[in-house]
């Protein structure tokens, strides 16, 4: 799963190859097919695991601090970390770019990742002392999720992590991020 995840984060879902994953882990392709009969099964499992890991991480952020600014900084750090790791993308972000090519079972899991992010960001935004209406918090959460994913994409395209850092700091200065 780790090899397949790295492959998708670096090259996208369409580059996911049973043969290449098998070669990297030193098994036959049939061994991978035994656990994941189709590429869609493997892609869905990758996205599901990635989302489940994100949920646990997000929960830990809120357990550690109820301060929206701290939570959002740690949130953006996750997207930055993918760039630091060989200029990779968020797994579900890169899969989203290939949405039309994804099997339905993968799309469901990729959509779930987006929903989890927006729901968590909405919760964090609602912790602000000034108060925010739930509908506005949800719209702003979606904007934050899209903005951070976009900043990651631009930085990756440039091969320059400072583009991510500068963009995120500009969002903070402009008030998009707490």
Domain 47-174's class? mainly alpha
Residue partners of 68: CB distance under 8 A and separation at least 6 = 124, 125, 127, 128, 178
pLDDT tens readout for residues 81-113: 999 999 999 999 999 999 999 999 999 999 999
User: pTM of the full predicted structure?
Assistant: 0.93
pLDDT along the chain (178 residues), means of 10: 96 96 95 95 98 97 95 97 95 96 98 98 91 91 97 97 98 94
Mean pLDDT for the chain?
Answer: 96
């Amino acid at each position: 799963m780790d090899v397949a995840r790295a492959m998708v984060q670096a090259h996208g879902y369409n580059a996911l190859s049973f043969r290449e994953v098998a070669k990297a882990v030193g098994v036959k392709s049939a061994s991978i097919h035994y656990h994941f009969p189709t590429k869609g099964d493997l892609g869905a499992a990758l996205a599901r695991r990635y989302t489940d890991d994100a949920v646990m991480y997000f929960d830990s952020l809120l357990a550690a601090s109820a301060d929206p600014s701290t939570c959002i900084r740690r949130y953006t750090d996750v997207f930055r970390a993918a760039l630091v790791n060989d200029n990779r993308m968020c797994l579900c972000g890169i899969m989203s770019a290939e949405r039309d090519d994804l099997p339905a079972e993968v799309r469901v899991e990729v959509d779930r990742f987006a929903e989890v992010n927006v729901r968590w960001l909405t919760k964090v935004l609602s912790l602000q002392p000034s108060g925010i209406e739930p509908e506005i918090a949800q719209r702003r959460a979606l904007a934050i999720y899209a903005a951070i994913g976009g900043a990651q994409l631009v930085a990756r395209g440039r091969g320059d992590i400072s583009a991510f850092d500068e963009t995120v700091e500009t969002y903070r200065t402009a008030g998009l991020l707490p």
